[in-house]
Amino acid sequence: MADHLISPHGGDLVDLMTSGERETEIRKASKRWVSWDLTNRQLCDLELLINGGFSPLQGFMNKKDYEAVCSSMHLASGMLWPVPIILDVPEEFAKKIKPGDKLALRDPEGVLIASFDVEDVWKPDRQAEAESVYGTSNKEHPGVSFVLDRTNPWYIGGNIEAVHLPDHHDFLFLRQTPSELRSNFSRFGWRKVVAFQTRNPMHRAHYELTFRAAKEIEANLLIHPVVGMTKPGDIDHYTRVRCYQALLKHYPKDTAMLSLLPLAMRLGGPREALWHAIIRKNHGCTHLIVGRDHAGPGSDSKGEPFYGPYEAQELMKKHEEEIGVKMVPFKLMVYVEDQDSYCPVDEVPEGKKSVNISGTE
């Protein structure tokens, strides 16, 4: 891998895929193991574990790492990691296994994805997890609701060895792994890359924002939308990807790239901003655009926002050096009618009328 690219989180890009004799051994032995059919979120997490998007993780977190992440945003080793990555199972399944066992992790169709070495089996305090990770126990927060109502009550932790990446049947040429993106950056001579995270369609104001951000720091642009699990009610990724493809044509030639990220978002606001930065670092990016209420779920039924508009930017700034990825703050772009152009809200000439376009509506 080219020396000029940013190092992955932890120093090495994890690759949990096996091949040859080892793959054959796992496939043969898996017929004797207890199987677990992965949920959609678990499948998203597993894909990013396998391809190194979640480097330095080697599998689903054990109890020690899980508790350290919840309480301090760091792994037991001391490395920054803000979001628990766990394999949750029902109690009746947990009672059938013990540390030292092997599991066969399968997709919903029964296809073997990976072997799992059980290290820990425990019943977590999910209420405490929600409050630590999301800063609230209010179930109107979709991340909290998922932890408390849709997550199984027992967790199992341990390392994995993969034999097959989860299958996808759409936009395959845009689903680039961290290793593939890094190879492309190296091939094109991209040394500084700013990532734009989104779960929404992009419009003209987003174009102006991303174009200006890349130009100001003299970097290339990676449009890196999430196509795993997002917020309930979001526009489907098929529609969004076509929107991104149409917009990509308007950037100057060879300055921007589109790649899809199979991430299951947690909508964890400030903590999630750090997580997004680490994931983009693993994909070879040096900068991340962090917006107002970045990765937040909005407001509750009383109109109270779950996070302050700049909490994510403040936390990212605090840990910028530790992560090694620099933040590019999201500048609110507005349309100036008299000039028929977009500019940052703080640069609108005095007396000129401007119009703000929502990033989500």
Active site residues: 198-200
Q: Which residues pair with 121 in a beta bridge?
A: 156
Task: Return d(Cα 334, Cα 314) in angstroms, integer.
Answer: 23
What's the Rg (C-alpha) of the chain? 21
Helix axes of 63-72 and 126-134: crossing angle, nearest 10 degrees: 40
d(CA 174, CA 167): 14
DSSP strand E in 13-75: where?
Answer: 34-37, 59-60
In the chain, beta strands by DSSP E:
34-37, 59-60, 87-89, 102-106, 112-117, 120-122, 154-162, 193-196, 220-223, 256-258, 287-290, 326-329, 333-336, 341-344, 354-356
Count of residues making up the chain: 361
The secondary structure of 126-168 as a DSSP string is HHHHHHHHHS---TTSHHHHIIIIIS-SEEEEEEEEES-PPP-
Give the span between the Cα atoms of 54 and 41, in whole angstroms: 14
CA–CA distance, 97 with 38 (Å, rounded to integer): 16
Distance in angstroms (rounded) separating the CA atoms of residues 252 and 207: 12
Q: Which residues of 211-229 are buried (b: 16+ CB within 10 A; e: fewer)?
A: bbbbeeeebbbbbbbbbbb
**Cα(155)–Cα(181) distance, integer angstroms:** 32
The count of other CB atoms within 10 Å of the CB of residue 103 is 23
The Cα–Cα gap between 358 and 361 comes to 6
